[in-house]
Amino acid sequence: MDYFEYRDKRLFAERVRVAEIAQEFGTPLYIYSKRTCLEHFRRIEEAFAEARPLICYSVKANSNLAILKIMAEAGAGFDVVSGGELFRALKAGAEAKKIVFAGVGKSREEIKYAFQEGILILNVESESELEETGRIAGQMGKTLDVALRINPDISPETHEYVRTAEIGSKFGMEISGAEQLVRKMNRFPNLRLSGLHMHIGSQITSTRPYARALERLVEFAHLCRSLGMDVRWLNIGGGFGIYYKEKEAKTAQELARVILPRVKSAGAKLILEPGRFIVGNAGILVTRVLYRKETFGKRFVIVDAGMNDLIRPSLYGAYHRIWPIEPEDETKLETADIVGPVCESGDFFARDREIPTVKEGDYLSIFSAGAYGMAMSSQYNSRPRAAEVLVDGSEFRLIRKRETYEDLIRGEA
């Protein structure tokens, strides 16, 4: 469910006509629906209510302060992977004791910052990181909670760039290595092993990978307890897929039916880290048609957004639905590549896509752009980053100003 819908051939974001927003703020423009964010958060809450989980919104999906504030006010915790994300979450009003810190390469400064702020738990990904964390805890004179991130060695059945639980992945540690660390935890008197963590990948559209991974994680949790560890938290990450094209993803209820019985058998509290599931379909990228071009029998629709604004199609070959925000005639279709102005052949949003015929000046909506859109944007080709707008019912407001040319060189000498 999302709240972007066509009424009389005009696209609305909740109760606001998208054309009105685009005309006021220009393009490229990200538009988010507050109601959609809350709807998907509530669906996870309801589906997993039996376990009373700590739902930690994954900041990397969309880190705009306005989005983070919505999540904090809804009662969410936060999954952060950098000192900057921790800073953002705290600025947005997050409770430190609802924050988990993951990431394969945390710096000493980031680890210290996290513990100074009093976060719930730090997910440790290697023996070296555990040793460094132990040194920091000793210097601080505190006993700190950590979780070991486990690589369960299963295929998450998703794009290779977002698989994080197979042999060869940089993330987590194999179970045999983790067991050796557990047996040596007495070497770290200032660390308390209070949880286990896994995150098997992103945009996962099947329940099978979670079932297989959890079987291994739960078995390891029991082993840790037999070795004297008080494993109170089982953090199973996120990665829940969403609808980009067809209804291929699983609902929160379907995921819960597979996940909850296995977590219950572990006798631990549940942590979830959804990001895309909450904000993916809560955002669109609006772009304007600059030119039409035909060459060598190929038709191109050239728009003012580029791969610097939304890199997923170029990076992952990802599909995003694209449609005019106010199509003149939906029965008159054409096939074209929809491309941007960046000087790269990979600067495209769709290839050989059938859409209603558009003319220069028309607006297109690139749907399902709320996650890993603006968060992964750049200033490549010295292109100022897009503006962002939040819609709440019949009201809308700017939540990030469009960058200017002056912004491009700010901080340079």
Which residue in this structure is represented by tokens 């430190």? 96
Of 151, 146, 194, 195, nearest to 173 by C-alpha is: 151
Query: For residue 210, is pLDDT > 70?
Result: yes
Give the residues across from 271 on adjacent strands: 54, 235
The verdict on domain 34-279 having CATH code 1.20.1260.10 is no
Q: Say yes or no: do domains 4-32+280-409 and 34-279 share a fold.
A: no
- Residue range 65-80, pLDDT digits in tens: 999 999 999 999 999 9
Phi, psi dihedral angles at 395 (to 5 degrees): -115, 155
Rg of the chain over CA atoms, in angstroms? 23
pLDDT at 82: 98
Determine what percent of the chain is predicted with pLDDT higher than 70: 96
- Residue range 281-310, pLDDT digits in tens: 999 999 999 999 999 999 999 999 999 999
Write the CB contacts of 391 (distance below 8 Å, at least 6 apart in sequence). Answer: 13, 14, 16, 21, 31, 32, 33, 34
For 147, 230, 336, 337, the CA distances from 358, given in Å and listed in that order, are 53, 61, 10, 12
- Residue 337: alpha-carbon gap to chain centroid: 27
What residue ranges do the domains of the chain occupy? 4-32+280-409, 34-279
Query: For residue 239, is pLDDT > 90?
Result: no
CA atoms of 58 and 173, how far apart (whole Å) = 21
Query: For residue 120, is pLDDT > 90?
Result: yes
The residue annotated as part of the active site, out of 37, 56, 224, 343, is 343
Phi, psi dihedral angles at 104 (to 5 degrees): -80, -15
Superfamily of domain 4-32+280-409, CATH level 4? Lyase, Ornithine Decarboxylase; Chain A, domain 1 (2.40.37.10)
Residue 37 annotated as catalytic: no
- Residue range 17-31, pLDDT digits in tens: 999 999 999 999 999
pLDDT at 386: 98
- Residue range 339-365, pLDDT digits in tens: 999 999 999 999 999 999 999 999 999
pLDDT band at 59 (very low <50, low <70, confident <90, very high): very high
Are the C-beta atoms of residues 39 and 403 closer than 8 Å to each other? no
HSE-CB at 356 with a 13 A cutoff on CA atoms is 14
pLDDT band at 58 (very low <50, low <70, confident <90, very high): very high
Query: For residue 163, is pLDDT > 70?
Result: no
HSE-CB at 75 with a 13 A cutoff on CA atoms is 9
